Structure 1
Amino acid sequence: MRRRSSRIGLSTPLQPDDQRPSPFIGGVSRSPRQQQGRVLGPAPSAGQTTGLGLGLATHDEKSRPARKDRSRSRERTRTAAGGGPTAQEALRRFAALLFRLLRTPKGFTLFCTVSLLWFTTSYVNKHSERLSRRPVHPRLLPLIRHGGNLAQYVSPRLGNRLKDWHEWQVQNDPNRPLTPEELAVQTRHTFHPNGLLLVNPKGRHPIPVLIEQAEKKWKDKVARQSRTLSEAVKEYKQRYRRNPPKGFDDWWRFCEEHNVQLRDEYDQINHDLAPHWALEAHDSRHRNRVMQERDHTFTIAMHPGEPHPSIHGPYAHIKRAADIADMLSLFTGRMHRPLNITYIIDDNPAVMLPYAQRERMVELGQQGEYYGPSEFIEGDDPNVSNFARACPPNSPLRRSERGEFTTDYSGDVQRSFIWRHQKAMDMCLHPESRKLHGHTMQQGVPLGPLVPLFSFAKTPLHSDILTVPIEQWEAHYVGYEPPWEGKSMNKLLWRGSTTGVEFNRHTPWRKSQRARLHIMSHDREGTKSVIWSQRGQLRESNFSVATINELYMDTSFSGALQQCDPETCDLLERTMDLKPTIGLDESNTYKYLIDVDGNGWSGRFHRLMSTRSVVLKSTAFPEWYQDRIQEWVHYVPIKVDYSDVYDTMAFFVGTPDGQGGHDSMAEKIGEAGRQWARDFWRYADMASAYMYRLSLEYARILHHDEGDVDYIEMPSFDF
């Protein structure tokens, strides 16, 4: 029940039919629900204060202006008649309210802000495409940014568009200084997976970048090498997913005795033997026996307990066979099983498999299964070269020989340097280099079955087992070796014979590696664009070809002409500037030496690395030490097309006008190469670091059907 207020007091007795006026709007009748249960008195007269029973009283009507009285009188009349305000009256009221609002400072500010937002929204929506391409004055950029922040409260979509417009204007302002992050991105060179660094003209000179990265990689490789036998076993299992071969512990002791470095880096052995794991042991032994009767081979036979291996085969009498046998005698008596290794005497590889067959054999070998006669291999494209058939179906080399488009990374199209030499030697990734080498410009050896032939040189496409050559290797080279500052010739030296290709009228010998080097360095016509370094930044200039050849190059054929028919030999004598050979004393006075391939690998690399000179190496053959050396730390890799030779020499020697030289950096590379040849390429390194471990791995493949072929490390209970 509702409680009555004690303050209710009516000055006039309430009658049942009287209507009590509203305390706020005079003359407004109550609803029937409000009239129930309440007795209202007559309406008060003008100027009389009436008590409402709630302690409220109305003001004197005479105190209000006459205009308001007439307005409210008309309103009470319309209300009493049951009607609302008309549309014209409502509009007049809204206009009066808006006018009163605009007369205040805050109201005027709000009106201007809303109007500006509406105008901006309409203008940006209508002209967004033109505005996005039109630069604005830098002083307007803060207004656009703040406008976007403000517009986001009203329209998030509009605010985001304004902010995006602001960011686009900022990023495309040519006078804006770049942030360090933006500068790093815009000046970054491209390290392509094919082993080439694609030069960014806006960046630093790439050679310091390559040297810094290479030094870090070499330090990391040396630091992570195993120091104990247990660490070596663990690393072996992680890399190759199998136990080490039997005799691994004795191999480790051999390395300890001879202080062999880098005892974990033997990925080349695993790569060469990977397809042989798919052959059953009796099949591997049969193929091994067949190769011993092959022409152009000799076989080294090692027997446990015998200090020196025996030699047999068609070419067992040659000096190369005797030298190899002497090297293997360092560990022959340590072998646990008899082993025959058949070498091919040629400088070139002899085994190549179709890509699909090799990949299938590697896959089966990893799964512990065998490759049999019933194994189906999809046929290869017979219209491409044997090199292309040894590449993946979608590789650049195979696509280029099928007439499909491939990106050209030759020096004529894209300036580049080598950052990963092994990838740069992969012809599958570099079809542009196939016609620039005497070995690869041919069709390639016939594709055949997998046979265990040990070769001294091979490309990444061949399936020979890579071994260590001993020719031209000496522990100490007789000759005067001056210090770096005593080397008087600040040029690049090469002298060589006419090998590497058959010099005849049926062969494009002018495109072969050695011939191109001679022709290029003796050219005197035209100009060439060369990049150089100025305070670390890359600069590009055009120089006369005659000037830079005179400044940088001293390369030429020398000695008696070889591998040429009479007609071509006569042409070489008339057109080539043949020079006499030079001795070690004279060659050691040159600060820069270049090593290029002959018919196969280059046998002079160890001698060149034993000097303090910087060795530039251009080759298509990865050698046994490839996992154990670091480009740009110990030597400078050079592309087969020689497109980076002048840029490299300009960085180290400087431009013809004497700018941009880096003699101290060249001295550092030369000294690092000499120390590497002294500490990592010793006689014991060739015998134990590679051939001993290769022999253990191959012996296990020949006898893996027998027991006790793995090295199992016993757990240690030394608490």
Structure 2
Amino acid sequence: MPLLNPKLARLQAALPRFLKFRLSRIPIILLFLFSGWAFYRYLSDPTNFDIFDALGLYTEEDYYDPHLYEWHKYPGAARAGDHQDHAAHSDGKKAASALAKPIGPGMDEIGEHHSQDGYVNYTSGDGLVRGWTLEGRSKKNVGKRLTHPIEELMRDNKQRWEDLLKRQSKSLEQAVKEYKRRYGRLPPKGFDKWYKYCVDNNVKIIDDYDQINHDVEPFLALSPTMFNDRVNDLAVAPFTYHVSIGPETEPAISGERSGATRAKQFLNLVSPLGPDLPRNIPIHVSDHDLGSWILGSDQRGLALMRIQSVMKKDGTGLNNVKYLAGAELKRLESKNRNEHRGWFSACDEDSPARGKDRAMENRLRELDGLPPLPEPATPAFVKDVRPGFDWCQNPATQKLHGTMSFDFPRDTVMRPIFVLSKHMRNNEFLFPPMEAYENATDATALKKYKPWSEKTVNKIFWRGTSTGDSYSKRKSDPDYDWRRQHRPRLHLMAQQEEGTKDVWLHRGREWIPENWAVKKLNEHYLDVGLTGKPHQCNQADGTCDEMAAEIKFADRVAPEQAAQYKYVLDVDGNGWSSRLHRLMTSGSVVIKHTIFPEWHHDWMTPWVHFIPMQVDYSDLYDIAAFFIGSPEGRVKGRDDLAQQIAEQGRKFAMEHWRWEDMQAYTYRLLLEYTRLMAEDRDAWSFGTEFIGDGIEEEPVVAPRGQKRAARVEREQ
């Protein structure tokens, strides 16, 4: 055999080792390439907002402004640094309009954006998600609906709840700085004792009290003298009771409604707090189910501008506010301050309630020779309940909810009265109602609880009386129909036997719409009905007789029996629903709609602790089909996810809706109320030593509307 070239010999010897090395690395190389491809596909999906935001590739976020009580689409590039410089404000109407204007896409963008197919889209104006995420990764499944929007909502909102719990302050210093970061001012005097109360009583929510700020902040634009005068004027207000507490007085109650059960419950709640308050205070409380005085966008906008324009980096400046007074305040508090009367007089000029709604936009498009806006994509589910509280952004609520059916001119005087329940745009102080509250571990409450495995009825249950409106024939409103109001409408929907309805059902691996007889849907999914007889109706004009003839009233069901049902509805009555706490501790899933903010709504998370539904109940059958299954019973629903929500809801009630949690909320509210009474509000603040000069602290995010208001002022 001829001798090989020495170089070739060495190459021949090294070749097996080389091939062995390369072949052993092939799986790793393939895994690396596949991971890169998968990551690219993930980034290509516009629904993956979290990774976009983390990498700085997505420049918009849903921004909640605790001052305006609104959700906005907010550009990430302007998140910080714009809070400090605000021009002096002279024309309240223009500046308030700019401040209160919701941020978001224009009407054309909304129509086109909602109709896009292929992913779920959230809109901040109504809190709904619309559409469906279509499968696009596999040729076999491309374009198919494999993942239900409810699964995405549960995933996203679970993360929201977990993030809320994780971010709570762990020290007094952190709590002070977080308060300052959120609201631009120092917390009130006594905040240190409040924090100690929370720690001592295992109150887990320390920072998220935006409802209190929403109620209190506008009153900082009234002088202490005027605020105290208005407090004193309430001493003779009708249908009220009056409580006195403080470190130097014994708890006392007086007034027309002082003997009412609610008055005694309130006294029991606040009496233990008196010794730790900074001073003695009078508290005036309405015993009505619902507050009725409103605060207009122009009023709130100007008040917030006056306050926020003078706040310093160290959180002081409350004494420098140019207070609302004289002719300016008289104009703002006049029922005739704009051409609208009633509920919509509170709305901004270009809000859907007063400005260009969808119907008007389509008329304008027709005149311009343009096609109408595309219909919003379906299905639609509630992601966040808070935007739905605002009737200015959702004017259809006024026709669908009985508590808004009387649209007479509303008082807009800022009055510091405490109420059990209120609309979002009311100007009173909301406190936790104790009505129907039960300690979930008491023997009586335990009789109304059944674990999921022991529940025997796989239906949606509700019973209630025909409260929620005063039903009558109305010459001033010939279009009014009692059948359209929220409680009768729910009953008549469940009683309906004619017609069909499209419902999204799981067939094979895919979700598809099918048309079903409404009678069959009601039989399979619902056990819903009004009880007793017509209530709160006009006998003389025949309304009561109409209701008696058309409504098949159902029998009452005791709470112990209702606990057999896996699903329970909770809807408003004359105000908030007092049964919610009992329902959440029953072990059943609560399906809920309300137009009233409640003291805990900053915490209680949709799709984690309860299932939200729309004001028109249009999503109820789709909710039922997802959790209960198909109407003919052939395909089972996601019973496991329903059980998860039921158990998390009960856990929420037992850990965050205790007597101590209601006291913590009320205690913090009373500290804010006490500072409003102080002649020197800066001196009645707490935490200067934790803030310093404020330079090291991240500035409060300025809403874009606030910056527009400042520009309006500069242009004048």
Give the alignment's TM-score, normalised by structure 1. Answer: 0.71
Q: How does 1:543-562 map to 2 (within 5 A)?
A: 543-562=516-535
Q: In the comparison of the two structures, how many residue pairs are matched?
A: 538
Q: How does 1:9-88 map to 2 (within 5 A)?
A: none
Whether 1:633 aligns to 2:576 is: no
Q: What does residue 364 of structure 1 align with?
A: 306
Measure, in 1, the Cα distance between the counterparts of 2:448 and 2:428: 39
Within the candidate set 121, 134, 148, 1:190 is matched to: 121
Measure, in 2, the Cα distance between the counterparts of 1:226 and 1:345: 35
Q: What does residue 482 of structure 1 align with?
A: 450
Q: Secondary structure at the match of 1:548?
A: helix
Deviates more, 1:480-489 or 1:451-460: 480-489
Contact 2:225 2:679 in 1 (8 A): no
Q: How does 1:373-392 map to 2 (within 5 A)?
A: 373-375=326-328, 382-392=338-348
**Deviation of the 1:183 alpha carbon:** 6.7
Counterpart of 1:332 in structure 2: which amino acid? G
Within the candidate set 581, 594, 606, 2:569 is matched to: 594
Measure, in 2, the Cα distance between the counterparts of 1:536 and 1:212: 20
Q: What does residue 464 of structure 2 align with?
A: 496
Counterpart of 1:671 in structure 2: which amino acid? E
Contact 2:505 2:625 in 1 (8 A): yes
Counterpart of 1:643 in structure 2: which amino acid? S
**Deviation of the 1:538 alpha carbon:** 3.0
Measure, in 2, the Cα distance between the counterparts of 1:303 and 1:671: 39
**Deviation of the 1:536 alpha carbon:** 6.8
Q: What does residue 206 of structure 1 align with?
A: 149
Contact 1:456 1:467 in 2 (8 A): yes
Q: What does residue 236 of structure 2 align with?
A: 293
TM-aligned CA distance change 1:304 to 1:612, over 3 Å:
same
Contact 1:532 1:660 in 2 (8 A): no
Q: How does 1:453-492 map to 2 (within 5 A)?
A: 453-475=417-439, 476=442, 477=445, 479-492=447-460
Deviates more, 1:676-685 or 1:458-467: 458-467
Whether 1:643 aligns to 2:632 is: no
Q: Which has the higher contact order (CA 8 A, sep 6+)?
A: 2
Counterpart of 1:362 in structure 2: which amino acid? L
For structure 1, the residue ranges without an aligned partner over 5 or more in a row are 1-177
Counterpart of 1:191 in structure 2: which amino acid? Y
**Deviation of the 1:384 alpha carbon:** 3.0
Q: Secondary structure at the match of 1:494?
A: strand
Measure, in 1, the Cα distance between the counterparts of 2:358 and 2:618: 26
Measure, in 1, the Cα distance between the counterparts of 2:241 and 2:495: 42
Q: What does residue 290 of structure 2 align with?
A: 348
Measure, in 2, the Cα distance between the counterparts of 1:634 and 1:444: 37
Q: Secondary structure at the match of 1:543?
A: strand
Within the candidate set 175, 193, 196, 1:253 is matched to: 196
Contact 1:297 1:313 in 2 (8 A): yes
Q: How does 1:574-593 map to 2 (within 5 A)?
A: 574-593=549-568
Q: Secondary structure at the match of 2:326?
A: coil
Q: Secondary structure at the match of 2:353?
A: helix
Q: What does residue 314 of structure 1 align with?
A: 256
Whether 1:665 aligns to 2:597 is: no
TM-aligned CA distance change 1:445 to 1:343, over 3 Å:
farther
Q: Secondary structure at the match of 2:168?
A: coil
Provide the aligned C-alpha RMSD in A: 2.7
Q: What does residue 22 of structure 1 align with?
A: none
Contact 1:350 1:445 in 2 (8 A): no
TM-aligned CA distance change 1:374 to 1:655, over 3 Å:
same
TM-aligned CA distance change 1:418 to 1:563, over 3 Å:
same
**Deviation of the 1:393 alpha carbon:** 1.2
Q: What does residue 227 of structure 2 align with?
A: 284
For structure 2, the residue ranges without an aligned partner over 5 or more in a row are 1-39, 48-116, 135-144, 311-320, 364-371, 475-479, 692-716
1:39-88 deviation digits (Å, cap 9, x = unpaired):
xxxxxxxxxxxxxxxxxxxxxxxxxxxxxxxxxxxxxxxxxxxxxxxxxx
Measure, in 1, the Cα distance between the counterparts of 2:486 and 2:124: 24
Measure, in 2, the Cα distance between the counterparts of 1:345 and 1:230: 38
Contact 2:525 2:631 in 1 (8 A): no
Q: Secondary structure at the match of 2:535?
A: coil
Q: Secondary structure at the match of 2:361?
A: coil
Q: Secondary structure at the match of 1:331?
A: helix
Measure, in 2, the Cα distance between the counterparts of 1:411 and 1:472: 42
1:328-384 deviation digits (Å, cap 9, x = unpaired):
012111111111111111112122133212211121122322112143868977543
Whether 1:525 aligns to 2:498 is: yes
Q: How does 1:670-685 map to 2 (within 5 A)?
A: 670-685=646-661
Measure, in 2, the Cα distance between the counterparts of 1:706 and 1:524: 62
**Deviation of the 1:200 alpha carbon:** 3.2
Measure, in 1, the Cα distance between the counterparts of 2:598 and 2:373: 24
Measure, in 1, the Cα distance between the counterparts of 2:435 and 2:629: 36
**Deviation of the 1:537 alpha carbon:** 4.3
Q: Secondary structure at the match of 1:531?
A: strand
Whether 1:271 aligns to 2:214 is: yes
Q: What does residue 563 of structure 1 align with?
A: 536
Counterpart of 1:371 in structure 2: which amino acid? L
Q: What does residue 685 of structure 2 align with?
A: 710
Q: What does residue 541 of structure 1 align with?
A: 514
Pair member with larger Rg? 1
Measure, in 2, the Cα distance between the counterparts of 1:540 and 1:463: 44
**Deviation of the 1:296 alpha carbon:** 1.4
Q: Secondary structure at the match of 1:260?
A: coil
Measure, in 2, the Cα distance between the counterparts of 1:291 and 1:311: 14
Counterpart of 2:230 in structure 1: which amino acid? R
1:252-306 deviation digits (Å, cap 9, x = unpaired):
1111121111111111111111110011111110000001111111111112144
TM-aligned CA distance change 1:179 to 1:534, over 3 Å:
farther
Contact 2:130 2:378 in 1 (8 A): yes
Q: What does residue 134 of structure 1 align with?
A: none
Measure, in 2, the Cα distance between the counterparts of 1:551 and 1:594: 16
**Deviation of the 1:660 alpha carbon:** 5.2
Measure, in 2, the Cα distance between the counterparts of 1:664 and 1:402: 39
1:72-122 deviation digits (Å, cap 9, x = unpaired):
xxxxxxxxxxxxxxxxxxxxxxxxxxxxxxxxxxxxxxxxxxxxxxxxxxx
**Deviation of the 1:509 alpha carbon:** 1.2
TM-aligned CA distance change 1:398 to 1:536, over 3 Å:
farther
**Deviation of the 1:309 alpha carbon:** 1.9
TM-aligned CA distance change 1:711 to 1:180, over 3 Å:
closer
Q: How does 1:404-415 map to 2 (within 5 A)?
A: 404-405=360-361, 415=379
Whether 1:233 aligns to 2:208 is: no
Deviates more, 1:616-625 or 1:562-571: 562-571
